[in-house]
């Protein structure tokens, strides 16, 4: 069987900043004796990641001796900016710029945030690094074998834009499960400093992502109320321009209370949501 972590052509390793994609990167480094010259590791920061995520990305680069390119969305051309651990946004600035550019909020039916905050900036950064086209490139994404629905949806996808890029799922191909990933980090010399609850890193990725279960979001707000500030301000902004031309989408979700209400429920210690609700699959990674 061919090693799915072996790189034999131009490849972008999409590193979300979570344990799964970091494990994927480690396997790539093992299989290739380091990072091949034709490979680039990219981390797209939305500005809403937990500080522990940023520290984890920094630590992976330091401990493993690998260069990780940090990229953020920018509204102005060329549409991205290369940053680093010190200069990375920490208060949702890239996401705010995106919302102001669209003049409405992403929602479960129109999830443009992953595309515009992660996929497109990474591809633009590749071109900015001297590659005229990403056509013919492979992009490794950290989707595991025990995530068959996510894997099925992403296989064969074509990158948004003019250039075709092949999505590679080495973890799924190698039948790597969540148990394998967590076992690796339990024995490793450093780890992501975010707790795992029933196999889920609740504060991972965008901390209060609207695709997460409502009970999970309420728990995170109760633990740290300031987490809700950016989400509340964003819904207030969308509400303030709803009657202006081209505006639309004043809530992240209409099938449950808004972030102001969820913050109030959390402050009052009111459990309003089903603890068994499943989140909506996202492609930001884990």
Over residues 179-190, the pLDDT tens digits come to: 999 999 999 999
Rounded Cα gap, residues 171 and 21, in angstroms = 9
Tell me the two tokens of residue 105.
Answer: 């909020």
- Lowest average pLDDT, out of 91-95, 104-108, 199-203, goes to 199-203
pLDDT tens column, 213-237: 988 899 999 999 999 999 999 999 9
Would you tell me how many other CB atoms lie within 10 Å of the CB of residue 124? 19
Is the pLDDT reported for residue 283 higher than 60?
no
Nearest to 255 by CA among 113, 41, 101, 109: 109
CATH architecture of 11-187: 3-Layer(aba) Sandwich (3.40)
Residue for token digits 């092949």? 166
Classify 138 as helix, strand or coil: strand
Contact 193, 32 (CB under 8 A): no
pLDDT per position as a tens digit, 2-39:
899 999 888 999 999 999 999 999 999 999 999 999 89
Rounded to 5°, the CA angle 141-146-151 comes to 40
Give the distance, in angstroms, between the CA of residue 53 and the centroid of all CA atoms in the same chain: 10
Reported pTM: 0.90
Domain-by-domain residue ranges, the chain? 11-187, 214-267
Q: Are 41 and 68 in contact (CB under 8 A)?
A: yes
């Amino acid at each position: 069987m061919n090693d799915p972590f072996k790189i034999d052509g131009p490849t972008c390793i999409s590193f979300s900043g979570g344990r799964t994609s970091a494990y994927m990167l480690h396997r790539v480094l093992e299989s290739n004796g380091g990072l091949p010259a034709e490979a680039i590791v990219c981390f797209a920061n939305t500005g809403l990641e937990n500080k522990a995520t940023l520290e984890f990305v920094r630590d992976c680069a330091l401990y493993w001796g690998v260069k990780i390119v940090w990229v953020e969305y920018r509204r102005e051309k060329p549409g991205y900016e290369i940053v680093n651990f010190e200069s990375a946004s920490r208060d949702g600035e890239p996401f705010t710029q995106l919302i102001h550019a669209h003049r409405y909020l992403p929602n479960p039916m129109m999830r443009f945030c992953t595309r515009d905050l992660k996929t497109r900036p990474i591809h633009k950064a590749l071109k900015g690094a001297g590659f005229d086209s990403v056509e013919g490139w492979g992009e490794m994404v950290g989707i595991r074998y025990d995530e068959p629905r996510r894997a099925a949806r992403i296989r064969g996808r074509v990158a948004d834009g003019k250039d075709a890029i092949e999505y590679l799922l080495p973890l799924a191909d190698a039948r790597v499960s969540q148990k394998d990933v967590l076992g690796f980090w339990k024995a490793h010399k450093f780890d992501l400093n975010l707790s795992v609850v029933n196999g889920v890193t609740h504060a991972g990725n965008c901390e209060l992502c609207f695709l997460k279960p409502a009970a999970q979001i309420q728990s995170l707000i109760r633990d740290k109320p300031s987490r809700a500030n950016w989400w509340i301000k964003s819904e207030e902004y969308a509400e303030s321009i709803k009657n202006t031309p081209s505006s639309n989408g004043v809530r992240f979700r209409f099938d449950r209370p808004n972030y102001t209400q969820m913050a109030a429920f959390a402050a009052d210690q009111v459990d309003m949501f089903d603890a068994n609700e499943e989140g909506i699959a996202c492609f930001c990674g884990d």
